[in-house]
Amino acid sequence: MGNFLPNFFPTPKRREFNIGNRYYDPEKERMEQLKKKYDPKTPEEERLAEAKARISEAFQRKEQPKGLLTTRKLIIFLCVLVVLLVWILN
């Protein structure tokens, strides 16, 4: 009987996830980074690029929190509203 009626509510197709196995060793990762950092064979340009990346990350973290900005806007809006109400009622 279901084959004769139009399908207004199609059944969703199943989703498949293909996640491969991974192994993460934080100690090995840290040692590789230290070796790379202090390797005398590392070219000066690569060290300079790493320094630029660290500096840009530091500047990006200094962004102003958005909650404080919206609170200030709300306070200013309320002050303007109070001034307008006092002006209209007088």
Residue 75 CA, distance from chain mean position: 28
State in Å, rounded, how far the first CA of the chain is from the last one.
75
pLDDT digits (tens, 9 = 90+) for 2-61: 566 666 667 778 888 777 777 888 899 999 988 887 777 767 777 788 888 888 887 776
Cβ atoms of 76 and 70 closer than 8 Å: no
Task: Collect contacts of 41-48 with beta carbons under 8 A, ≥24 apart.
Answer: none
Cα–Cα distance list, 76 to 31, 80, 86 (Å): 52, 6, 16
- Could you tell me the pTM of the whole model? 0.28
Distance in angstroms (rounded) separating the CA atoms of residues 8 and 22: 42
